[in-house]
Amino acid sequence: MEMLISPDWLRRKVESDPDVDTDAGPSIKLLEAIGMFLPAELIPVEENKVVRAVEAFGVLARQLRRQKQWTIEELAKRARVDAEDLRQIERDPHYRPRPRVVHQLSAVYGVPERPLMKLSGATITTDHDFEEKAMRFAAKSDDMSKLSREEQQALNEYVKYLIEKAT
Amino acid sequence: MSGALGVYPLNDRRTGKEVDATLWQSIERRHVDDFINKWKPIFDARLAELRSRGAVTVEIAAEHNLQDAYWQWAEKVEERRGELAWASFAVEAEGVTQGLMFTRVGADVRAREASQRNQYIVEIDLVAIAPWNRFRLVPTPQFKGIGRLLLATAISLSFSEEFAGRIGLHALPQADTWYRDVCGMTDLGIDNTKMRYFEMTEAQARAFIQ
Amino acid sequence: MTFAFQEGISPLIPLVIPMIEKRTMTLNLSAHEMDVVERLADEKGLSKTALVRQALRLYQSISSRLDNGEKVFVEHPTTKEKAELMVLS
């Protein structure tokens, strides 16, 4: 391979070049997606943060089901997952669903999979904003059979956020 | 498989003097060793410092130009060594690796810019400069000219491949101005990698190496 | 490394010749194969050598995926339907 520049060219140009960084590289998102940037020993895994995210996932799952006015059994049938799994998701804030279940729920509700995986604890994230939004959303829900107007709004806004996160 | 492509003068900002750097045709074991033994400790120290202030997300790391700190260099070099699609380059000065680059070509590596859409192009996969040469990591970065040298190398490769100097790359946020305004590349905006993608046409490439 | 001196330009311009040598190969192709090589090279604005080098890279990449047990798919541009392009049988 022939170099098309001379030492003198470099000398000349460098003189007038501004002082800036010139790095180019692998997608930041790519690194995040394959966990390459997050070696476990570096990032302090805050267990309580993960639990809160998972709890928010349970709330989201429940709200989405209530919005459709489905029972657990109906959802289990439609999503082709175990009803017991769904009950655990909605009730137990420590219960982390298997990725397949999250995948099925994502499909049946039309909510993007990747942010759901993060929320459910299936994948790790240290996105502060994401965590905060999850907690705020979870705090807005109530345990009544039909969603209130406020709950509907909160649910729709949160789903919109998750969709934006995915694109 | 390795050879020196040339000797080029870098500017040492700390002394104001010129220092000769050798450009190598592929990344060798010693360059990877330099990354592990000389570059990484500095990244680690900086990361530790950032971490003491709070969790380090990918975004924060990028801001401090630390995003490639945990790139698996040794593995990547090995993985790509036997593959024809990949080429790598290293810049050495004062016996130490100062910069590294990976490029990719192939039937699927095509230009996006309207005037050259789908034509073959050299993709710069990674340009990494030693931490003591990075603005966001040290108050007085040492060598100037490595980025320019590596870009000219990619363009030379492109011409030798018969791709008329066409190159493309994803720039790290703080390098946007460099590629767009100084190098004269076309800014094709942020793509699905969440990074800004730049391309050089033949005309821009020829202007750059003028 | 070889150094050459060019007079009248500067006292010393080192011309370093890369250690990667180029080797030559003769290909025996059928007339049809040769036609294809020429047509493809033409379409892509490449010399036959450059074309064959691109082909080689593609071949190596797919071949090694198949050897790893991976499958290679094609996706229909509009229906997004996937069909197996290559798989070891």
Q: Over the stretch A71-111, which tens digit does the pLDDT of each residue have?
A: 999 999 999 998 988 998 888 877 878 878 888 898 898 88
pLDDT of residue A167: 66
The CA distance from B136 to B66, in Å, is 9
- pLDDT reported for residue C46: 95
Q: Exposure string (b/e) for B57-72, b if CB count within 10 Å is 16 or more? A: bbbbbbebbbbbbbbe
Is residue C4's pLDDT more than 80?
no
Under DSSP, is residue A167 helix (H, G, I), strand (E, B) or coil?
coil
- CB of A13 closer than 8 Å to CB of B148: yes
The interface predicted TM-score of the complex, written ipTM, equals 0.91
Stretch among A155-159, B9-13, C55-59 having the lowest mean pLDDT: A155-159
Specify the CATH number for the domain of residue B202: 3.40.630.30
Question: Is residue C74 one of the residues assigned to a domain?
Answer: yes
Question: C67 pLDDT exceeds 90?
Answer: no
CB within 8 Å: C10 and A1: no
The more confidently predicted of residues B19 and A30 is B19
Confidence of residue C89 (pLDDT cuts 50, 70, 90): low
Q: Give CA–CA dist B81/B97, Å, rounded.
A: 18
Helix A47-68, helix A72-79: angle, nearest 10: 100
Task: Give the pair of three-digit tokens for residue B186.
Answer: 């076309």
Asked if residue A36 has pLDDT above 90, the reply is no
**Sheet of B4-12: strands edge to edge?**
B143-144, B4-12, B18-24, B86-93, B96-104, B122-129, B167-171, B196-200, B186-190
Instruction: State how far residue A93 is from chain C, nearest Cα, in angstroms.
Output: 38
Please tell me the distance in Å from C78's CA to the nearest CA on chain A.
Answer: 20
In order, the DSSP letters of B45-76 are HHHHHHHTTS---HHHHHHTT-TTTT--HHHH
- The separation between CA A27 and the C-alpha centre of its own chain, rounded to angstroms, equals 18
Query: What's the burial of A105, exposed, middle or buried (CB within 10 Å: 0-12/13-18/19+)?
Result: buried
Over residues C70-84, mean pLDDT: 83
Q: How far apart are CA C72 and CA B108, in angstroms?
A: 14
Kindly state whether residue C48 falls inside one of the protein's structural domains: yes
Residue C7 domain-assigned? no
A135-140 mean pLDDT? 78
Q: Could you give the 3-state DSSP secondary structure of residue C74? A: strand
> How many residues does the structure list for chain A?
167
Question: Is residue A122 scored above 50 in pLDDT?
Answer: yes
Confidence of residue A157 (pLDDT cuts 50, 70, 90): confident
Q: Is A25 on the interface with C (CB under 8 A)?
A: no
- Total structural domains in chain C? 1
| B179 near A CB under 8 A | yes
Number of domains chain B is built from: 1
pLDDT score recorded for residue C84: 77
* Res. C54: pLDDT tops 60: yes
Substitution target from A8, A22, A114, A165 for chain B, most B beta carbons within 10 A: A22
Q: What percent of chain A has pLDDT over 90?
A: 16
Helices in C8-73 by DSSP H: which ranges? 31-44, 48-67
pLDDT less than 70: residues of chain B: 1-2, 55, 58-59, 70
- Measured between CB atoms, does C10 come within 8 Å of chain A? yes
What's the pLDDT score for residue A158?
84
Sort strands C72-75 and B167-171 into parallel, antiparallel or unpaired: unpaired
Q: How far does C56 lie from chain B, in Å, by closest CA?
A: 8
Give the structural domain span for B171: 4-208
Domain presence at residue C2: no
pLDDT at C13 over 70: no
Domain assignment present for residue C71? The answer is yes
C77, part of any domain: yes
Closest Cα to residue A32, out of B182, B194, B127, C5?
B194
Predicted confidence at residue A138, as pLDDT, reads 79
Query: Residues B54, B55, B61, B66: is their CA dihedral positive or negative?
Result: positive
**Between the ranges A17-31, C6-20, C22-36, where is the mean pLDDT highest?**
C22-36
List the domain range (segments joined by +) for residue C77. Answer: 31-86
Q: Is residue C9 part of a domain?
A: no
Tokens of A123: 């994948």
Q: Is residue C38 part of a domain?
A: yes
Please report the pLDDT score of residue C59 as a whole number.
Answer: 93
Q: Is the pLDDT of residue C6 over 60?
A: no
Q: Which of A1, A6, A8 lies nearest to residue C18, judging by beta carbons?
A: A1
Q: Looking at the predicted structure, is the pLDDT value of residue A59 above 80?
A: yes
Q: Report chain A's mean pLDDT, rounded to a whole number.
A: 79
For each of the domains in chain A, give its residue range(s) and CATH number, in order of start: 46-166 (1.10.260)
Kindly report the pTM of this predicted structure: 0.68
H/E stretch holding A109 reads helix A99-109
- pLDDT for B2 equals 61
Judge: C18–A6 Cβ closer than 8 Å, yes or no: no
Closest listed residue to residue A17, CA positions, set B10, B195, B171: B10
Q: What is the pLDDT of residue B121?
A: 97
Which residues in chain A have their CB less than 8 angstroms from residue C10's CB?
A: 8
**Residue A1: closest C-alpha in chain C:** C18
Q: What percent of chain C has a predicted confidence (pLDDT) above 70?
A: 72
> In chain B, what residues touch C50 (CB-CB under 8 Å)?
161-162
Backbone angles phi, psi at A72, to 5 degrees: -60, -40
Which among B57, B169, B191 is the top mutation candidate for probing chain A, defined by the most A β-carbons within 10 Å of its own β-carbon? Answer: B57
Is the per-residue pLDDT at A31 higher than 60? no
pLDDT digits (tens, 9 = 90+) for B43-100: 888 888 887 877 677 667 777 777 777 677 888 898 898 899 999 999 999 999 999 9
